[in-house]
Structure 1
Amino acid sequence: MTPHHPHPDLAALLTRSREVIAAQQADNGAYPASPTFSAYRGYCWFRDGSFIADGMSAAGEPESAGRFFDWCSAVVLRHADAIAEIVGAAAAGAPLPDDRMLPARFTMGGELGHDQWWDFQLDGYGTWLWAMTEHANRHGLDPDRWRPAAVLTVDYLVSSWDRPCYDWWEEHDEHVHVSTLGCVAAGLRAAVEHEMVVGERADRARDVVARVDDVLASRGTVDGHLTKWLGTREPDGSLSALVAPLGLVDPGSELAGRTLDVIERELSTDGGIYRFRADTFYGGGRWPLLTCFYGLARAARGELEQARAAFDWAASTATDDLLLPEQVDGSLLDPSMRQEWVDRWGTVATPLLWSHAMLLRLAAAIDLIDTEETS
């Protein structure tokens, strides 16, 4: 990747990232995706929130992360009846339609939203299992208070793991997405390894993890690299996460190396990572959070120079107020589409809490941050 000038005051930026996330976290533990962006305001995603919590946990803010997992647990338990209905219908061979599956996002109070959204996404439920167990292990905590919700989440994922659904980007619900499968498998594996589930339930979870591995090897890999969805050769910027921090793909493997190389070759310009080549959202810009995922994966392979370059690029996108955006202008994939999104939703989400969290997570991975508990 092309070296990029880092932000002139990294300590201030990392402190600001902690402060932005902490200040916006609700009393019940929910993290808003962005406090000001019209389409995100008032909602918490399991996916975004889980990665935000992981960043805070790794950066020495365990109390914040724990409160988010409390929120996840409360939401899952609140929807226990819906999960039982979903699991039962799948077992009977009559799966419920997509609009009756659990949504990707909830109101900050944990209720179903009333705005139309691309809601059926499975990845966030695997991500919360993974992030919660990582947090407990990192800080030597007993995760037992989250066990009842973890059991329900495992049942939900085991029943529905192979269904087509919307991806991280809330697009293409006709496909089975590799990053979604990776999040599901990482969560189920974590639940088993940390004994959140045992007995036959653990056996079923192990079986799904093995089946995901087989699917990724047979249908989610082309020319030695992971693909955006089953049946394409195109990459996606989210695939770095399967190498790190999720650890589903061995960082030292040829698969990891080739996947990161194709992301760099096809989805990188001047150090920043795009979502995918056909992206038109706000013109298709480069995303700081994806660049941090890429940096985490390079760091996990011991490629620290590339990891630091990714960090420096992400840090350089901060505004004068030390706020990180969702994506940046410049070198857009389809500039003609930018204004259409500005007219629809306003300017790019800034701050995006997920961007701040990934900067913290990468800083911790490459020893740029004091990870002693600060709360």
Structure 2
Amino acid sequence: MDLVEKSLEVIINNQSKSGAFIASPSFDTYAFSWLRDGSFIANSLDQYKKYDEAEKFYRWVNDVINRYSDKVNVIEDKISRGERISRKDYLNARFTLEGFEEKKEGWGNFQLDGYGTWLWAVSEHIKLTGKTELIDEFHNSINAALKYIKLLAFYPNYDIWEENYDKIHTSTLACLYGGVKAINDYLKKDEVTKLANQIKTYILTNCVEDEHFVKFIGTKEIDSSLLWLAIPFNVVDVSDDIFKNTVKKIEDDLFVDNGMHRYKKDTYYGGGEWILLSAWMGLYYKKVNETEKAEAVEKWIEKCATEEGYLPEQVCLHPNDETYYPKWVDMWGEIASPLLWSHAMYLILKSK
């Protein structure tokens, strides 16, 4: 089975008419479209010149942001008056496939990462297609996203795993910097340059402990998503000493037999190895010309595919705590498979 072709098929077949990508078609909890996941999924299609399908997603997000952009003005007004911002004021991290807020109680919807990731993905799409007219077409949504980021970039919010709502997360800040910096290649606005510089300075000043980047401010722990600082968001270069120290810790603490854990204390489905994060390690190895290691990661991912050619969210070959696996199965069912983000990151890895 050609897993590249199968991955493209899985993604395209699970794009709704609206343009949204369902996170996983077989996992009820993931029957929504996340801005973050979807932006990486659309970017994977861009790598294979599936530009129309990718752009459908970018346009879907444009419509979603425009639909709810009044919230950004409410937040701005509340901040100026020193009033408390409530949960209902924030823009959501995930939406129904039709582009509306979902109202499930208890879900960590205040996540900023998706708005930065969308700005970055749109910028990459323009770079590949030359469609600079999208900057004008998306004028309102781009400005709303930038204002939202400017207002809340340094507020505690849920991380990329929908956890730790009371922390400020390094990988979230990386998403914001990457998006702001990338879109300003086309906007060329001084105030946007200033915002990008503020975020980068904040990361370098506050998100380093013991000569390595940390999962969130106030800890010395790491997270494999710290790879995003260099790939793809370019906060630092892969040659940066602090980043190299971080990669070494990730390799030592989280990377086992070519499979990548999220973080040491992860117990979601036992805390197994995530396909998409393993692909990120492969991208790093390709970037630093460690070809054999990158190839080993590719082969490991391919071995994780099911008989149908589906890539799951994670596999539990070396779980952090296997006693948690049946607890999650009882609560939500078996691990999500296929996960479109897993397929997307495999495609991106193979394209480089």
2:147 counterpart of 1:155:
yes
- Residue 59 of structure 1, CA deviation: 2.2
- Residue 259 of structure 1, CA deviation: 1.8
Check the 8 A contact 1:157/1:184 in 2, yes or no: yes
- Residue 38 of structure 1, CA deviation: 1.6
Comparing 207-216 with 231-240, greater Cα deviation is found at: 207-216
2:67 corresponds to which residue? 78
Check the 8 A contact 2:177/2:233 in 1, yes or no: no
1:356 corresponds to which residue? 343
| Cα distance between partner residues in 1 of 2:325 and 2:248 | 28
1:232 corresponds to which residue? 219
Which amino acid is the alignment partner of residue 89 of structure 1? K
2:130 counterpart of 1:140:
yes
- The alignment's C-alpha RMSD in Å is 1.4
For residues 91-240 of structure 1, the aligned pairs below 5 Å read 91-116=80-105, 117-142=107-132, 143-144=134-135, 145-195=137-187, 202-240=189-227
Check the 8 A contact 1:326/1:350 in 2, yes or no: yes
Check the 8 A contact 1:241/1:297 in 2, yes or no: no
State the secondary structure of the residue aligned to 2:95.
Answer: strand
- Residue 255 of structure 1, CA deviation: 2.6
1:63 to 44, 48, 52: 52
Comparing 228-237 with 300-309, greater Cα deviation is found at: 300-309
Comparing 30-39 with 79-88, greater Cα deviation is found at: 79-88
1:103-123 deviation line (CA, Å, top 9, x unaligned): 110101111102221111000
2:327 corresponds to which residue? 340
Which amino acid is the alignment partner of residue 315 of structure 1? E
Which amino acid is the alignment partner of residue 118 of structure 1? G
2:247 to 260, 271, 281: 260
- Residue 44 of structure 1, CA deviation: 0.4
Check the 8 A contact 1:99/1:120 in 2, yes or no: no
TM-score (norm 2): 0.96
| Cα distance between partner residues in 1 of 2:284 and 2:234 | 9
Check the 8 A contact 1:90/1:160 in 2, yes or no: no
Which amino acid is the alignment partner of residue 160 of structure 1? L
State the secondary structure of the residue aligned to 2:108.
Answer: coil
| Cα distance between partner residues in 2 of 1:307 and 1:241 | 17
- Residue 95 of structure 1, CA deviation: 5.0
Which amino acid is the alignment partner of residue 86 of structure 2? P
1:4 corresponds to which residue? none
Report how many aligned residue pairs link the two structures: 349
| Cα distance between partner residues in 1 of 2:216 and 2:273 | 20
- Shift in alpha-carbon separation, 1:303–1:113, aligned structure 2, 3 A: same
Which amino acid is the alignment partner of residue 220 of structure 2? R
Which has the higher relative contact order, 1 or 2, with Cα contacts under 8 A spaced 6 or more apart? Answer: 1
Which amino acid is the alignment partner of residue 202 of structure 2? V
Which amino acid is the alignment partner of residue 193 of structure 1? D
**Identity score, percent:** 36
Which amino acid is the alignment partner of residue 159 of structure 1? L
Check the 8 A contact 2:270/2:319 in 1, yes or no: yes
Which amino acid is the alignment partner of residue 185 of structure 2? E
User: Which ranges of structure 1 fall in alignment gaps of 5 or more residues?
Assistant: 1-8, 366-375
Check the 8 A contact 1:126/1:187 in 2, yes or no: yes
- Shift in alpha-carbon separation, 1:98–1:305, aligned structure 2, 3 A: farther
Comparing 116-125 with 351-360, greater Cα deviation is found at: 116-125
| Cα distance between partner residues in 2 of 1:171 and 1:113 | 18
- Residue 328 of structure 1, CA deviation: 0.3
Check the 8 A contact 1:245/1:293 in 2, yes or no: no
- Residue 336 of structure 1, CA deviation: 0.6
State the secondary structure of the residue aligned to 2:225.
Answer: helix
Check the 8 A contact 1:273/1:291 in 2, yes or no: yes
Comparing 299-308 with 77-86, greater Cα deviation is found at: 299-308
1:120-173 deviation line (CA, Å, top 9, x unaligned): 100000000001101110222222322221111101111110000000100010
1:243 to 209, 222, 230: 230
2:310 to 323, 326, 329: 323
User: Which ranges of structure 2 fall in alignment gaps of 5 or more residues?
Assistant: none
| Cα distance between partner residues in 2 of 1:300 and 1:97 | 42
State the secondary structure of the residue aligned to 2:315.
Answer: coil
1:67-96 deviation line (CA, Å, top 9, x unaligned): 100001000000121121122322444351
Check the 8 A contact 1:164/1:173 in 2, yes or no: yes
